[in-house]
Amino acid sequence: MKDKLRKIVESIFGGDVLNRTQKRLTLYNSGLLMIFLCLFAAIVYLLLYTAMAYQEQQTLQNLIHQTVYYQEELQTKSDNPREDLLMSGNEELFYYSILNSSGDVLAENSRISPSQSITDSIRSWGPREGETLSREITVFPPPDRGERHAHDEHFKRHTIHILLAGQPIYKGNQITKIVYVGIDQTLHHRLLQILLWILLGLILSFFLVALGISHKMAKKAMVPVRLSFKRQREFVADASHELRTPLSVLYSSLEVLDLEEENHLSDYSRQVMEDMKDELKRMTKLVGDLLTLARVDSGVANMNMTTFDLAPIAMQLIRSIQPVSKQKDIQVTANIPHVLQVVGDIEKLRQLFYILLDNAIKYTPANGQVSVTVAIQDKHWLLRVKDTGLGIQPEDQQKIFDRFFRADKHRSRQLGGVGLGLSIAHWIVTSHEGSITVESEFGKGSEFIVRIPLLLKKTATG
């Protein structure tokens, strides 16, 4: 489940920087459109809700005033309340009840039967001027018609919404009666529910339309950027290719000069010669990395997938890095199985090991430790390279696989780093259908975790 979620996230936010930028533009534009659309829908809904609620309030207040006036007129003529034709003569009135000061029902009428549940729910309510009360009432089918009309919608159990208002009637300073009236809100509730679903459907439909339009707009906006980036990549590839030969010639010339003039060079000249060699090595490595990434960008970085034993290759790389680690008094430990059959490009995976090992030793201070662990887990093989170095700030951990990114630029420049190694490592891992992550605590070290399937979907790519 975790791998599926990771693949979904990578499919949405993955890809090169241009694809990520295009996706972000698409989401940003469609997100803005959706915000305005949601605000519009919310305003429409609230306006309709407010208008309907205001209309119901006005209707209810008119009904309560009419009913109270009618009962006051009757009270002056008789002490017995009368229902007369009040309910049948007013289509808006759904329920009314008259209770005395003790809560006993003096008169009651309702469009549902029985109406006792409504009266019981408001018996303890002492209404104030202008106050309303909303109630949900469940209506059951009549007992003698339950089976006979089982399929009749009119007699099925259903819920109605009633808006109630009440007002006391005084005789002198004493309350003699409390009149309650109610109107049916069920239709309005259903209309609002239908309206809400319609608005949600429109929002979803417009979201899909906005997503499509935003995608086309973002794609069109990225055309000149892609063209410029393509020209830049072609220039880097051509320049890197052209620089390899003169750099090799320069390094070979320095080697020859060093051999022929070894006994005639002063200490200062020898130091200058060594510095020039170091700079040429650094430039050669930089040109090689740039050429690798240029081939990746152009799609001509061939992958030669084979099945091989990774264990001896890993051990050989660890042995080759020992002289460098001993110079810094760094202890390198390894936990690698004797045999580990994997599928992949031997040279690319060798480069991956070297990049992570070199990176760990480079940023680990003297007397530090570097551990390398290779293991099998859930049809994947894992590579863990852990160091006790500088660590990485939390805000930089998502950027370290970007090209030319260096968390500490000054220190990276001193150590010879240009910020391309981890970007190449990330490409090697993804080309093997795997993932690479980092866990780090600033000041306490970092651990790079590579996870690659034992069996790849594609045994060869070009």
Calculate mean pLDDT across residues 59-85: 69
- What does the alpha-carbon distance between residue 219 and residue 223 come to, in Å, rounded to a whole number? 7
State residue 43's pLDDT score.
93
Confidence of residue 430 (pLDDT cuts 50, 70, 90): confident
Q: Answer whether residue 213 shows pLDDT above 60.
A: yes
Q: Tens of pLDDT along 171-203? A: 777 777 888 888 888 888 888 889 999 999 988
Quote the tokens at residue 297.
């960008």
Task: State the DSSP code for 81.
Answer: -
Class for the domain spanning 233-301: mainly alpha
- What does the alpha-carbon distance between residue 347 and residue 345 come to, in Å, rounded to a whole number? 6
Cβ-proximal residues to 182 (8 Å cutoff; 6+ apart), any chain: 60, 93, 94, 95, 96, 118, 135, 162, 163, 164, 165
pLDDT higher for 345 or 137? 345
Give the domain ranges of the chain.
Answer: 50-194, 233-301, 302-462
Annotate 163-211 with DSSP letters as a single string: EEEEEEEEETTEEEEEEEEEEE-HHHHHHHHHHHHHHHHHHHHHHHHHH
Q: Answer whether residue 385 shows pLDDT above 90.
A: yes
pLDDT higher for 371 or 230? 371
Least confident of 164-168, 219-223, 256-260, 344-348: 256-260
Q: Answer whether residue 46 shows pLDDT above 90.
A: yes
pLDDT higher for 109 or 310? 310
Q: Tens of pLDDT along 235-269? A: 666 666 666 677 777 777 777 777 777 677 777 77
In this prediction, what percent of the chain has a pLDDT beyond 90? 10
Quote the tokens at residue 32.
């803005």
Give backbone dihedrals phi and psi of 131, rounded to 5 degrees, phi first: -80, 140
Least confident of 248-252, 301-305, 411-415: 411-415
Q: Answer whether residue 105 shows pLDDT above 70.
A: yes
Q: Answer whether residue 456 shows pLDDT above 90.
A: no
Cβ-proximal residues to 274 (8 Å cutoff; 6+ apart), any chain: none
Confidence of residue 370 (pLDDT cuts 50, 70, 90): very high
Q: Answer whether residue 234 shows pLDDT above 60.
A: yes
State residue 297's pLDDT score.
66
Q: Which CATH architecture has domain 302-462?
A: 2-Layer Sandwich (3.30)
Q: Which CATH architecture has domain 50-194?
A: 2-Layer Sandwich (3.30)
Task: State the DSSP code for 365.
Answer: P
Q: Tens of pLDDT along 12-35? A: 555 566 777 888 888 888 888 888
Least confident of 91-95, 140-144, 276-280: 140-144
Confidence of residue 451 (pLDDT cuts 50, 70, 90): very high
pTM of the model: 0.51
- What does the alpha-carbon distance between residue 2 and residue 8 come to, in Å, rounded to a whole number? 10
Confidence of residue 168 (pLDDT cuts 50, 70, 90): confident
Confidence of residue 10 (pLDDT cuts 50, 70, 90): low
Q: Answer whether residue 211 shows pLDDT above 60.
A: yes
Q: Is the dihedral of CA 303, 309, 313, 318 positive or negative?
A: positive
Cβ-proximal residues to 264 (8 Å cutoff; 6+ apart), any chain: none
Do 233-301 and 302-462 agree at the fold level?
Answer: no
Q: Answer whether residue 163 shows pLDDT above 90.
A: no
Q: Answer whether residue 89 shows pLDDT above 70.
A: no
One-letter amino acid for residue 180 of the chain: Y
Q: Tens of pLDDT along 340-356? A: 899 998 888 988 998 89
Q: Judging by DSSP bridges, how do beta strands 369-377 and 331-335 pair with one another?
A: parallel
Confidence of residue 372 (pLDDT cuts 50, 70, 90): very high
| Number of residues that make up the chain | 462
pLDDT higher for 64 or 236? 64
Confidence of residue 146 (pLDDT cuts 50, 70, 90): very low
State residue 335's pLDDT score.
92
Q: Answer whether residue 130 shows pLDDT above 70.
A: yes
State residue 410's pLDDT score.
46
One-letter amino acid for residue 35 of the chain: I
CA angle, residues 397, 403, 405, in degrees to nearest 5: 50
Quote the tokens at residue 65.
């005033």
State residue 131's pLDDT score.
80
Half-sphere CA count of 121, side-chain side, radius 13 A = 15
